[in-house]
Chains A and B, each alone.
Chain A
Amino acid sequence: MVDAVFLALSVLTIGSAIVALEIRSLIYGSIALMITLSGIAGFFLLLDAPFVAMFQLSVYVGSIAVLILFTVMLVRRELIFNKIEDKRRRYAGIGLMLALMLGIGMIIIGSGMKSMETNSPSVDYKKIGEDFLTYYSPALIVMALILASSVVGALTLARREDITNDQRTD
């Protein structure tokens, strides 16, 4: 059962990832990207990590994919993308990807992780929270700083002083 689900998820994820790269229509490409990201959430569910899976769904599908969709729909793509049709680049990309996957696969198989434990209890999110506040607290602080600085940066970029807002009455 788990094997069948794993296989189906793998086919779905990798297939839609290839579609996302190859399809002409940008909208369909972003939909395929959403399916890929949802498939990864499915892998997290298989690995008994529902917490991570739900965050994968709500952050990647719910926010980032929406952002990509939004950009693709609103921006005239002739202005930002120019087509480069080059067979050699594609083959080089596929070759590079295969080499990378082989390397990572060798490392993982060599490290002794050969089978997936599917019957273990799911990871408790309270444990994740505790770890974040104790052992991994520097990482949490760094993340908070990065997020705060990116919020400040976004506000700075979005601020425009040349527009006076006369219409607003509230």
Chain B
Amino acid sequence: MSTIAPQFRLSRFIASLFDIIFWVLLIFSLVGLPIVFIVLFYIKMPIINGQMLTPYLAMTWMADPSRTLPIIKTLLHTTFFHVIAFPGFGFAALLAAATIFVERKFLAKIQLRVGPLYCGKIEGILQLMGDGLKLISKEIIIPAKADKPIFWVGPLLFVGTAGALVSLIPVARGWVVANPSVGLLAVFATIGFFPIISVLTAWAANNKWTFIGGLRALHQMIAFEIPLILSLLSVVILTGTLNLSQIAESQQHYWWIVFTPISAIVFFICILAELERIPFDLPEAESEIVAGWLTEFSGMMYGLIQLGTYLKLYAFAGLFTVLFLGGWNGPTVWPAFPADIITHGITIGPVTAKIAGLPLFDQDMLNGTLWFVIKTVGVILLILLPRGVFPRIRIDMLLHTGWYKLIGLAFINIFIALGLLYAGVLGPGGLIQ
């Protein structure tokens, strides 16, 4: 028997629950409701179907599912929902969290280990939650001679920049947080912030390991940014647009990786370098410089950096999918919403419930999301794979690869793309549409 709570009594537990409920209700009715009504004086309520949304009306709708669903449906299309939940932060963070767990298990299987096993009993599935709780409860230690403002702001900026990158990735047709006409340039501009953040936080920690790691990160990211940009230019030449949604849309019949395989390979290597993953993990080489530019971070600050790193991983994998693997395009495998429920309603025994506006998401969007997730997860696994296989490379080899070999290779595919375009095979008005 476990002896976590030897004095446990069920009756006292239930009594304490009732106690909490009583106090919550009391405080809500005495304090919460007046605050709500005071705030309502200053908020302009939205008008839905010609009626102003007062609190009473909202509660009436809440009691009736046929009226609630349209509200939820409108909520799904607000910018707030896009940013917080679906194509934005929530979705990306979910995939990122899954990636952290899958990475550990996947590498363990490659190297004939077992990986996390204890937490959650079944293959250690709750390991991540345990790690998160540990990080939150740990003390945040700031080095005595650190430059405190920059040191505090660094992890937040890192997560913010990674979130900005995530917001540019279109998940399904019309499902993207920010859809600027110069989306790809926005990606380049956002990538440019990462080396600044890492070198500034590295400098601010006032530690030689962090500073060496920060300088390595700066060298590496700057060196690989140029082949990264050049490798994407061939796709831009072929599609004639910089908007990521239009680039994904243009691959309905064939993927760009068919015509620009060299660019795809160059871009993939650059992703590995930008993400500081093995074999390019020199900025945080743990056997040489402790943990590189992350050495002095502790507790949730390290957790934020980790979150940002995996958000960035998702964003780059999504970018690879959108640019080379056709984005959300794929055969329709998601079943259509049953038509009887829309026309006749759901029949349970003698009761028939007719619910208006039921297909919350249309089939096209669900199908697109499914294909996007499948492709992105494939790319993420491909990014994780070298960590179990390759050793770390030397810094001069890294810089040689970045500045010399990859730039040359990227130009080859630009010329191939230009040749295809001027020969009239591809592009606007080409043979293959």
> With A54-B188, A62-B193 as given contacts, are A27 and B182 in contact (CB-CB < 8 Å)?
no
In the complex where A70-B199, A70-B218 touch, is A51 in contact with B192 (Cβ < 8 A)? no
CA distance A66 to B197 in the complex (A): 10
Q: Which residues of A contact B180 (CB under 8 A)?
A: 50
What chain B residues lie within 8 Å of A69 (beta carbons)?
Answer: 196, 199-200
Residue of chain A at shortest CB distance from B195: A66
Task: Confirm or deny: B186 has a beta carbon within 8 angstroms of a beta carbon on chain A.
Answer: yes
Residue of B nearest to A122 (CB): B181
Residues of A within 8 A of B189 (CB): 54-55, 57-58, 61-62
Chain A residues 83 to 140 lying within 8 A of chain B, measured CB to CB, are: 122, 124-126
A170 interface residue per 8 A CB criterion: yes
Q: Mark B187-212, 1 if CB is under 8 A from A, else 0.
A: 01101110110011001000000000
Given A50-B180, A66-B222, A170-B397; A55-B185 close (CB under 8 Å): yes
Is B242 an interface residue when CB atoms closer than 8 A count as contact? yes
Taken residue by residue from 138 to 150, chain B's Cβ proximity to chain A (1 for < 8 Å, 0 otherwise) reads as 0000000001001
Tell me which of B147, B196, B242 contacts A66 (CB under 8 A).
B196
Question: Majority SS of interface residues in chain B?
Answer: helix
Q: Is B203 in contact with A73, judged by CB distance below 8 angstroms?
A: yes
B396 near A: Cβ within 8 Å? yes
Q: Using a CB-CB cutoff of 8 Å, which residues 1-52 of chain A contact chain B?
A: 27, 31, 34, 50-51
CB neighbours (8 Å) of A65 from chain B are: 196
CB nearest to B219 among chain A residues: A70
User: Which of B150, B192, B240, B242 contacts A57, CB < 8 Å?
Assistant: B192
A25 to B322, CA, bound (A): 43
Taking the complex as formed, is A149 at the interface, i.e. its CB lies under 8 A from any CB of chain B? no
CA distance A125 to B225 in the complex (A): 22
**In the assembly, what is the distance between CA of A50 and CA of B182, in Å?**
7
Q: Does A150 reach chain B (CB closer than 8 Å)?
A: no
- Does A168 touch B at the CB level, under 8 Å? yes
- Alpha-carbon distance between A65 and B199 when the two chains are bound, in angstroms: 12
Assembled-state Cα–Cα distance A50/B147 (Å): 35
Which residue of chain B lies nearest to A67 when distances are taken between CB atoms in the complex? B222
**Chain B's nearest CB lies how many Å from the CB of A101?**
29
A62-B189, A62-B193, A66-B218 known; A73+B182 contact, CB < 8 A: no
Closest to B400 in A: A170
| Contact call A73/B199, Cβ cutoff below 8 A | yes
Chain B residues closer than 8 Å to A54, beta-carbon distance: 182, 185-186, 188-189
- Nearest CB of chain A from residue B220's CB, rounded to whole Å: 13
CB distance from A52 to the nearest CB of B (A): 10
CA distance A27 to B201 in the complex (A): 12
Picked from A31, A58, A125, the residue with its CB within 8 Å of the CB of B188 is A58
Centre residue among B147, B180, B189 by max chain A CB count within 10 A: B189
Across-interface contacts of B185 in A (CB, < 8 A): 50-51, 54-55, 58
Q: Is the CB of B192 within 8 A of A63?
A: yes
Q: Which residue of A lies closest to B396 (CB)?
A: A168
Could you tell me the distance between the alpha carbons of A62 and B197 in the complex, rounded to whole angstroms? Answer: 11
A47 to chain B, nearest CB (A): 14
A51 contacts which of B182, B195, B396 (Cβ < 8 Å)? B182
* Residues of B38-56 contacting chain A, CB below 8 A: none
With A and B bound together, what is the CA distance between A50 and B189 in angstroms? 11
Contacts of A170 in B (CB 8 A): 397, 400
Report the separation of the CA atoms of residues A73 and B215 in the bound assembly, to the nearest whole angstrom: 10
Residues of A within 8 A of B147 (CB): 27
**Complex alpha-carbon distance, A170 and B405, angstroms:** 13
B193 touches A61 (CB 8 A): yes
Whether B192 lies near A62 (C-beta < 8 A) is yes
Which positions 53-82 of chain A face chain B at CB distance < 8 Å?
Answer: 54-55, 57-58, 61-63, 65-66, 69-70, 73
Q: How many angstroms between the C-alpha atoms of A79 and B180 in the bound complex?
A: 46
Tell me, in angstroms, the Cα distance from A61 to B147 when the chains sit together: 22
Contacts of A34 in B (CB 8 A): 196
Closest to A170 in B: B397
Chain A residues whose CB sits within 8 angstroms of the CB of B225 once the complex forms = 62
CB neighbours of B181 from chain A (8 A): 50, 122, 124-125
In the bound complex, do residue A61 and residue B242 qualify as a contact, i.e. CB atoms below 8 Å apart? no
Instruction: Choose among B192, B240, B242, B400 the residue with the greatest number of A CB atoms under 10 Å from its CB.
Output: B192
Q: In the docked arrangement, what's the CA distance between A34 and B188, Å? A: 17
Q: How far is the CA of A40 from the CA of B195 in the complex (A)?
A: 21
Mark contacts of B384-407 with chain A using CB atoms, 8 A cut-off: 1 yes-contact digit, 0 otherwise. 000000000000110010000000
Question: Are the CB atoms of A61 and B192 closer together than 8 Å?
Answer: yes
Q: Complex: how many Å from CA A67 to CA B387?
A: 31
List residues of B (8-42) whose CB comes within 8 Å of A's CBs: none
Instruction: Give min CB distance, B127 to chain A, whole Å.
Output: 37
B402 to chain A, nearest CB (A): 14
A-B contact pairs, 6 of them (CB 8 A): A50-B185, A57-B189, A58-B192, A66-B218, A70-B218, A126-B240
10 extra interchain contacts, Cβ-Cβ under 8 A, other than A27-B150, A27-B200, A58-B191? A34-B196, A54-B185, A61-B192, A61-B196, A62-B225, A63-B192, A73-B199, A124-B181, A168-B396, A170-B397
Q: 4 closest Cβ contacts across the A-B interface?
A: A62-B192, A57-B189, A54-B185, A58-B189
